[in-house]
Amino acid sequence: MNVLELDKQHTWHPYNSLPSKTTILPVKTTYAQTIVLEDGTELTDAMSSWWSAIHGYNHPTLIKALKTQANTMPHIMFGGLTHKPAVELCKKLADLSGLPSVFLADSGSVSVEVALKTAILYKKAKGQNVSKFIALNNAYHGDTLGCMGVCDPQTSMHSLYGEYMPSNIFCNIDKIGNTIEQYKDEIAGVIVEPIVQGAGGMKIHSPEYLKIARKLCTKYDIPLIADEIATGFGHTGKMWACDHADITPDIMTVGKGLTGGIMTLAAMMTTRNISDTISSSDIGVIMHGPTFMGNPLACSVANASIDLLLNSSWEQKVQNIENIFTQELQSLNNLEIVQEVRNIGAIGVVELKSDKHALTVQEFCVKHGVWIRPFGKLVYSIVSYNITNEELYKITNTLKKALKSLK
């Protein structure tokens, strides 16, 4: 069986055509921070599998949790039933976030959908029939319909869907206070990616806008939604990016690092006030129920991943990563093709002035043993926390060579 030939015939990859217009690499196995291709080529992973493998690949603690649960109960419906892994996970997430009401979902996009629904239901339960949201320019919150509606229609990949998307209100980050004041009676909520805006540009912001949003959302009883799918579980150097502003949102979504990259799982957490208001109203319930919600395998791995994180020196590890990114990448600001270099926590970003170099950079890095996947004019790396200094320097040195080789 030729994997690539079959792939070209049948497999439609994300953000791609069928057959793919870009090179697809066949992976045979993984370990630690390493991807092994079918031909034996080894690549140091600079992407931590789309930012999810915070402990690296094949961590024995997570694999053990998966195998143990598989032998007991791989799956059971969550409607009318419950189980220990899910209950334990909800308690862990409640304790970590300060948000006691937890809804488990299948993926990050689904958790955002649930968050938007929850905010709308909260307002309805309070007698306010509103459904618009304030989101930020350059926002990205996922690929499903509600999520697309709170992604910036000018800069996101979803502009193709036009009038099919929900219509919402967008503002510059420095205008968030004025925008909330202006639309306070028309909105169901405010949704932000705290500190770091991900796929919308990998932009890094001061925490002040979060404090402003928190103050005004509290004043006007507007749910503040923090999308921590990309930033949560330590990526910015703190457990939650909201911690940089010392605020707690009314609703938080998490995913990606929740299971350490082993399985798909996400969650929405909210305040008791919101869940009680909805539950005690005529609405009564949240109308959402994924078939695989609360999957025991995923919950068991998530429990093990959270324990693994909390019992490690992850803060020091992430600080070390930040120090090396700062030290190694800043010199790239001197290159003519570079617009800006920025980094925080385990995230390092080089924004180019043009998007024409993405494929060339990726091919150079792969040829030199590093897996990286630029997004438009953004060349970035988000690494696992137990990466070695040697592996991290390999990534930064390869990036520097790739960018300095461009004409």
Q: Is 15 a known active-site residue? A: yes
Reply yes or no on whether 227 is catalytic. Answer: yes
Angstrom CA distances, 252 to 45, 103, 108, 152, stand at: 28, 10, 11, 20
Tell me how far apart the alpha carbons of residues 219 and 217 are, in angstroms, rounded to a whole number: 5
Distance CA 140, CA 112 (A): 11
Residue 71, classified by CB atoms within 10 Å of its CB into exposed (0-12), middle (13-18) or buried (19+), is exposed
Among 45, 227, 243, 250, which one carries the catalytic annotation? 227
Determine the straight-line distance between the first and last CA of the chain, rounded to whole angstroms.
40
Q: Distances in Å between the alpha carbon of 317 and those of 41, 54, 135, 223, 320? A: 28, 11, 32, 34, 5
Catalytic residue among 57, 117, 123, 140: 140
Burial of residue 154 (CB within 10 Å: 0-12, 13-18, 19+) is: exposed
Catalytic residue among 117, 123, 238, 256: 256
Record the tokens describing residue 25, joined without a space.
């690499």
Peptide bond into 374 cis (omega under 30): no
Distance CA 335, CA 43 (A): 26
Q: Give the residue numbers annotated as catalytic, written as ranges.
A: 15, 140, 227, 256
